[in-house]
Amino acid sequence: MASDNPTDIKDELSELVPFDPTKKKKKKKPVAQDPVEEVEKLVEPTENLSVEDAGESVFAGMKKKKKKQVELDIDDDEDGDGEENNDGKVVEDEQGEGIVFGVERFPWEGTDRDYKYEELLGRVFNTLRENNPLLAGDRRRTVMRPPQVLREGTKKTVFANFMDSCKTMHRQPEHVMNFLLAEMGTTGSLDGQQRLVVKGRFAPKNFEGILKRYINEYVICNGCKSADTILSKENRLFFLRCEQCGSSRSVAPIKAGFVARVGRRKAGA
Amino acid sequence: MSDFDTQIPTTFDPFAEASGDNAGAGSKEYVHIRVQQRNGRKSLTTVQGLKKEYSKTKILKDLKKEFCCNGTVVEDPELGQVIQLQGDQRKNVSTFLVQAAIVKKDQIKIHGF
């Protein structure tokens, strides 16, 4: 289960990377108009690009761009100059990235107009990404499908896509089941088709609320809020380790707590 | 930029917390408020983990009067005295306990759907 995730990310990478160079070219052409500054521009194409991106686009596009930007940085590091040469312009790369950083260019350079908010924002994100890419907040959202809940008879409820939910969260079904049952204060079990059958009547909304709580407590990393975590048991304690940032924390064991006696009492007990 | 202003450290020091004031009060001792389904559309609310110093019967009396429901105090071998109330009174109970300053708001854990 856990091994699914890295491959996912890799897929995404490979989707994104070939897409980037074309984009770079497109963006670069309109910019490269005045010959004086062209050299500087070429030296740090990524920097340039993203600043313009931020300037052109409104907020709606930001998230997507952020993601791409990181990708860009990566492949610049790996085979940095290959792509620039593809553009047909040769750059001297004796200047390392470090120096380049100072030569950063902005759309407002040369004019004496005011800075736009978007431009400054882009600049902040640029520097942030440059120095510590972890903080720049490029994360994929994992989307959970809403629980499908059926009624079995009048007294039992079936959570049909229970396995599916467990898989998207990368958690053992037993653990999730324990939590759900403890929270709802009922009993239940997995049936033949791996659906969760719970005693009592519950609406899909109820399941959703509890799953949300489960995710907050047992899935999401406190440090970086990513859901890419692993729950492991080390001498009786559960630990949650984040795959993204490497942090780990202990989580509370699931306790059912007090369960009041519902239903008929037997004469003996 | 305006975001940055809010992150300037104030008198609250996030690192001092561990040895701070609420450690002695037992910050881990939550009061759990649960709901359980009964037959039909009836339900039952249980309040577990109130401190020993409080008289559960007196709290129960006020709860019953406030929410117009019946209830009892159940003796549990492990968890001590647990208050049971008729009906889904989770929100009522938590607001009551906070208002009466019996428990702090962050010590209450509401379970159930």
* Domain ranges, ordered by start, for chain B: 29-110
B84 touches chain A (CB under 8 A): yes
**Digits of tens for pLDDT over chain A (269 positions)?**
444 444 444 444 444 444 444 444 444 444 444 444 444 444 444 444 444 443 344 444 444 444 444 444 444 444 444 444 444 444 444 444 444 444 556 677 777 777 788 888 888 888 887 777 666 665 556 678 888 999 999 889 999 999 988 988 888 899 899 999 988 888 899 999 989 999 988 889 889 989 988 988 888 888 777 888 888 888 888 888 888 888 888 888 888 777 777 766 665 54
Flag if B37 and A201 touch (Cβ within 8 Å): yes
Cα nearest neighbour of A185 on chain B: B36
**Does A200 contact chain B (CB < 8 Å)?**
yes
In chain A, which residues have their Cβ closer than 8 Å to the Cβ of B32?
A: 257-258
CB contact under 8 A, A200 and B37: yes
pTM of the model: 0.57
- Nearest-neighbour CA in chain A from B37: distance (Å): 7
User: What would the 3-class secondary structure string for chain A be?
Assistant: CCCHHHHHHHHHHHHHCCHHHHHHHHHHHHHCCCHHHHHHHHHCHHHHHHHHHHHHCCHHHHHHHHHHHHHHHHHHHHHHHHHHHHCCCCCCCCCCHHHHHHCCCCCCCCCCCCCCHHHHHHHHHHHHHHHCHHHHCCCCCCCCCCCCEEEECCCEEEECCHHHHHHHHCCCHHHHHHHHHHHHCCCEEECCCCCEEEECCCCHHHHHHHHHHHHHHHHCCCCCCCCCEEEEEECCEEEEEECCCCCEEEECCCCCCCCCCCCCCCCCC
Overall fold of domain B29-110? Translation Initiation Factor Eif1 (3.30.780)
